[in-house]
Copies of this chain bind each other. A is one copy, B any other.
């Protein structure tokens, strides 16, 4: 029994203490209602949902602040890829136990990201589980009506581009799991790969650039190779990617050159949360210029070609590279 006037359950206390401060939007009603409101603005509302699971998308010993950021950012990455501006999110938290030392840094980091990405917490649900911790986020974005950047819409001749560098997160995970020797990596390189796995950098800074220039876009979550197949399939086209043009971090380049990792580790590992997009050739220059202004590195890695074959990775002199695996799959 609680004293009179106290809330009825530990769950409510938990929400009030840790999550109410994050519910800064008027439509969240301070999390005391059963639902939130997203006001109509005339824009289309983009809706996306992605969950992260302990042992799959993050490791049991990952710091709670990085887990919080990853849970939100994998969704912000989808919002960015669709050319939308973040509008808010709801959170489902399945926990084995409610420990202050885990919840306090989790909620603090989530609040910081919600603030910096202008994506306020609108509501949520907290449930107990006997299994792995799971955090499911549904995020909302706004785009002018009809202007969402789709997966489909690219045509032969379009250039294929990615943001940032590819493969780092997958290598970071292998380092954390002990499946990759860190010999040859200095502390900074090791730290940067691990950080790329734990805290993705969603590319919301170029959402409007994508809306203005991209014929199709998606974020890379399951590996460049597998996600490129999806991008191509959505438009019924194929693509040729020059393997050596794929942007790599110095750390990843070093490991690849030393033979410590293979090409598949880079392109089929997943967790990149970079943008994969197609840009009509006549828009490439303005796309690259606008992306640079937004502070996001973009690299052309190949081009869209006609045909229904799976996209081909080729060497600098055009020889196809046969991939032993394509992407991460849950089942």
Contacts and interface: CB of A to CB of B under 8 A. Distances in A.
Nearest to A48: B35
A122 interface: yes
A234 interface: yes
A136 interface: yes
A36 B48 contact: yes
A47 B38 contact: yes
Contact of A49 (B38, B124, B150): B124
A56 interface: yes
A138 interface: yes
Contact of A222 (B8, B32, B48): B8
Contact of A44 (B39, B55, B234): B39
Contacts of A132: 129-131
A185 B229 CA distance: 58
A154 B325 CA distance: 60
Interface in A1-42: 1-2, 4-5, 7-12, 14, 29, 32-42
Contacts of A327: 8-9
A97 interface: yes
A45 interface: yes
B34 A218 contact: yes
A51 B329 contact: no
Nearest to A51: B92
B9 A222 contact: yes
Contact of A55 (B8, B11, B32, B130): B130
A123 B49 contact: yes
Contact of A128 (B9, B92, B141, B330): B330
Interface stretch (A76-84, A169-177, A242-250): A76-84
B36 A127 contact: no
Interface string A38-80: 1111111111111111011100000000000000000000110
A34 B130 contact: no
A125 interface: yes
A151 interface: yes
Contacts of A218: 33-34
14 contacts: A1-B325, A9-B226, A11-B329, A11-B330, A14-B331, A33-B152, A35-B148, A39-B44, A50-B125, A53-B94, A92-B92, A92-B136, A126-B330, A129-B134
Given A9-B330, A40-B43, A94-B134, 19 more contacts: A8-B222, A8-B226, A12-B230, A32-B151, A32-B230, A33-B218, A34-B78, A35-B48, A37-B148, A39-B44, A40-B45, A47-B90, A47-B122, A50-B125, A56-B129, A127-B134, A127-B330, A130-B131, A131-B131
Interface of A: 1-2, 4-5, 7-12, 14, 29, 32-53, 55-57, 78-79, 81-82, 84, 90-92, 94-95, 97-98, 122-132, 134, 136, 138, 140-141, 145, 148, 150-152, 218-219, 222, 225-227, 229-230, 233-234, 308-310, 324-331
